[in-house]
Structure 1
Amino acid sequence: MDVSTLVAQAREGRPRAVARLISLVEGASPQLREVMSTLAPHTGNAYVVGLTGSPGVGKSTTTSALVTAYRKRGKRVGVLAVDPSSPFSGGALLGDRVRMSEHASDPGVYIRSMATRGHLGGLAWAAPQAIRVLDAAGCEVILVETVGVGQSEVEIAAQADTSVVLLAPGMGDGIQAAKAGILEIGDVYVVNKADRDGADATARELNHMLGLGESRGPGDWRPPIVKTVAARAEGVDEVVEALEKHHAWMEEHDVLTARRRRRAAQEVENIALTALRARIGDLHGDRRLDALADGVLGGTLDPYTAADELVAGLTAQDEA
C-alpha cells in the first residue's frame, strides 16, 4: 500500500493504518521520509503528556486511568508505552499495555508498545516520529509512558508538552528526592499509591525539595503535587485538572509554542546527527580517515584538528 493511502486511512482513524505507519517508523523504512512529509500538514494539534518515574510507581496503571478520564471528556487518546529491550537478547516484553487491556475495544483509543532497542533516556529512538503519526491520526491527547527511569534519564521533558513525574511512598527518603535530574523536569508531580503509609510524608518532602532554591517569579508555573490511588481511579480527575491548568498556563504565557519549537529543533538536529554519523561510519577503512588517524597517532595532528578536517572534507563533498 502506498504511503498517501496509509496516511489517508490513518486520518480516518483506522488502527491498522496507524500501526503500519508506526512500524515503518520503527523499522527506519526507506519510505520514512515520504511518511513524515505526507504527515507534516496534519500535525501540531495533539497535547502530548509524558509520564515518567521509577519502576513500580504505577505508571501503566496511572496511564490507563488517565485514558479513562480523557475518554469521559470525549477526547481521542493515543498511548505510547515504552518498554526496555534486553541488553542480552535484544528482545522486549511489551507488557505495559496488558494493564490497559480494558481500552482494547475502544475505537477512540490507540495503544502502541515500543521497545527502547538500546536507546537511553527512557524513550525509544522512534518515539518523536511515532508521536507525529498519532497526532496526524487525530489523537487529541497523546500519553507517552517511559520505561522505569533513574535520576538522569529525562529525555521525556524534551518530547512532551507537559511532564508528569510519579513517585510512591517507600521509594526513597528526602535525600533521594533532592537528587538532581528527574525531579527537575516535572510540571505536575503525582504521589501514587497514596493509600500506603508514608504518602503524606512523601508529599511533604517533595514539596520541600521543590521549594529549595526555586526562583519563580509572579505568574510563573509552580508544579502541583497530586496524591492518587490510580488502581481505584482516586485522584485521577485532579491530575487531569492539573494538566488542563498547565496547558492553559502555557498557552497564556506563550510557553507551549516555545516548547514545541525546541522539540522540533532537537528532532531536526538528531536526524542530522544520525545522518552525519552514518556518513562518518561509511568512511571506516577510507584512506582519508586512515590518514587522519595516522597523523594523530604520529603526533603531527591533534584529534580536534583531525576532526575539523574530517568535517570540512564532508562539507566540501556536499558542496561539490
Structure 2
Amino acid sequence: MSLVERVLAGDRLALARLLSQIENEETTGLDDLAALYPHTGGAHLVGMTGAPGTGKSTLVNKLVLRMRQAGDKDGESSIRIAVVAVDPSSPFTGGAILGDRIRMRDLAGDPCVFIRSMASRGALGGLARATTGVVQALDAAGFNVIMIETVGAGQAEVDIARTAHTTVVITAPGMGDEVQAIKAGILEIADILVVNKADIPGADNTLRALRATLEMAKPESYSPNDPHRSDLSIEREEESSGWETPVIATIATEGEGVAELILAIENHRTHLQGSGEWAIRERGRIRSELEGLLRETLATRFLQRQPDGRFEEVLEKVLARSLSPRQAVLSMVEGEDE
C-alpha cells in the first residue's frame, strides 16, 4: 500500500510520517498531500487561542476528554479528534518545545485522538507555516474535529480566525484581557469567548467587562466609515446572521464549564451550517490560503531568478539609506536601480 492509502486506512504511523514530511516541506509529502486533498472538507476546524498563561492546553485536554466521553455514552465512539498544538520554537533546534503535548498526557492511548505538536519557527501570528497542510492531512485521515491551539501572541488571533471555522478566544482574570481584547481586535474574530481560571479573584469583573465590551462592539455601534475596523471585522460582520458571541466561565483544572463550552462549539457549527456561513467561511479560508501560497511561491521563484549577489547589492543600498525598502523592491522587479 502507498503512504496515501495507509493514511486513508487509518494507519497512525503513516499519518505521523506524512505530517513530518509536510512540516519539512519534502516534495514527496507535498505530493501525497495533493493526492489526499479530494478527501478533505469534512472536519470542523476549531481554533483555540489566547495569551500565554490562560490555560489553553489544560482546557483543550479537558475538552477532548469530555467530547470523547460524551461520544461513548451516546454510542458514537467513532468520533475522532485531532489536536494541533503550535509550540514556540526551541532557539537551538527550531523544533517544538512540546510543552503542550506534555500537558495533554491524559489523552495518550486513545486510538480516536491524535496529537501533533508543531514548532512555530518564528512564523508571524503564531501559526507554523505548515499548519494548513497538517490540518488538511488530518482532515483527509477522517478526524471529525481538529483543534488548533496557537502560541497566542502577536497576530495569532487573526491568523487562526482565517484558518478555523470556529474561533475560541481564551482569557483569564488579572491579565487585562478585557482591555487587550479592544486593542488587539480580539472581539472582532471571537466566535466564543472563554474566561478560564474563573475561580481566582477578579473573574466576575473580567466576565462583566467582556460582556459589556461585546455589547458595545456590536456592528450597529460602529460608524460605517470607522477607520479602526479591520478587514476581518467587516468580513465577519458580513457573514454574521444572528450569532451572539457567548462568554463562558471555565475552571479547566476542575472541568467546570467544559460541558457548556462544548455545547457552544457544537451550536456554532450548527449555526454556520444552517445559515450558510460555513460555505462563506470555507471560501474565505481557501482564498486566504491561495493568496498566501501565491505570494510565497512568486517571491521564492523571483529571488531564485535574480543574478548572483543582486539581493545583497540592493540590501547594501537600503542599509546605506540610498534606497528605501519600497524603492529597492521596485528596482528588482523593474530591473533598474533608481
Normalized against structure 1, the TM-score is what?
0.86
Does residue 10 of structure 1 match 2:40?
no
Change (3 A) 1:68 1:152: closer
Q: Is the CA contact 1:80–1:143 (under 8 Å) kept in the aligned structure 2?
A: yes
Give the 3 Å change call, closer, same or farther, for CA 287–234 of structure 1 in structure 2: closer
Aligned counterpart in structure 1 of residue 19 of structure 2, from 1, 6, 22:
22
Counterparts of 1:274 and 1:14, CA distance in 2: 32
**Deviation at 1:252?**
1.5
2:277 aligned partner: 255
CA deviations on 1:206-239 (whole Å, 9 max, x unpaired) are 0111122411699421210111111111111100
Aligned residue for 1:207? 211
CA shift at 1:150, angstroms?
4.0
How many residue pairs match? The answer is: 306
Q: Establish whether residue 176 from structure 1 lines up as the match of residue 198 from structure 2.
A: no
* Letter of the 1:132 counterpart: Q
The one-letter amino acid paired with 2:86 is: V
Shift of 1:184: 2.2
- Paired position in structure 1 for 2:171: 167
The one-letter code sitting in structure 2 at the alignment partner of 1:64 is N
Question: Which of these residues, 107, 121, 125, is aligned with residue 117 of structure 1?
Answer: 121
> How far is 1:291 from its partner?
11
2:53 aligned to 51, 56, 59, which one? Answer: 56
Q: In structure 1, the residue corresponding to 2:136 is in which secondary structure?
A: helix
Matched, 1:90 2:86: no
Which among 301, 308, 324 is matched to residue 279 of structure 1?
301
Moved more, 184-193 or 147-156: 147-156
Contact 2:251 2:257 (C-alpha < 8 Å) held by counterparts: yes
Q: CA deviation at 1:32?
A: 3.4
Structure 1 contact 120–153 (Cα < 8 Å) conserved: no
Greater shift after overlay, 176-185 or 85-94? 85-94
Partner of 1:191 in structure 2?
Answer: 195
Is the alpha carbon distance of 1:174 and 1:237 closer, same or farther for their aligned partners in structure 2, counting shifts above 3 Å?
closer
- For the aligned residues, what is the CA RMSD? 2.8
Which residues of structure 1 form unaligned runs of 5+? 311-320
Please name the residue that 1:127 is paired with: 131
Does residue 76 in structure 1 map to residue 98 in structure 2?
Answer: no
| Separation of aligned partners in 1, 2:56 and 2:314 | 49
Structure 1 residue 181 displacement after superposition: 2.7
2:258 pairs with 1:236: yes
- Distance, in Å, in 1 between the alignment partners of 2:46 and 2:162 is 11
8 Å Cα contact 1:122/1:154 also seen in 2: no
Deviates more, 1:69-78 or 1:148-157: 148-157
Q: Is the 8 A contact 1:53 1:150 kept in 2?
A: no
Unaligned runs of 5+ in 2: 221-236
SS of residue in 1 equivalent to 2:253: helix
What is the aligned-residue identity percentage? Answer: 45
* Deviation for aligned residue 1:90: 3.3
Which deviations, in whole Å up to 9, do the C-alpha atoms of 1:259-292 show, x marking residues without a partner?
1111112212222222212112213435998999
Distance 1:46 1:134 in 2: 9
Flag the 1:176–1:10 CA change in 2: closer, same or farther, 3 A.
same
Question: For 2:90 and 2:62, how far apart are their aligned partners in 1?
Answer: 28
1:120 CA drift (Å): 1.4
Contact preservation (8 Å) 2:50, 2:157: no
Counterpart code for 2:21: L
Matched residue SS, 1:258? helix
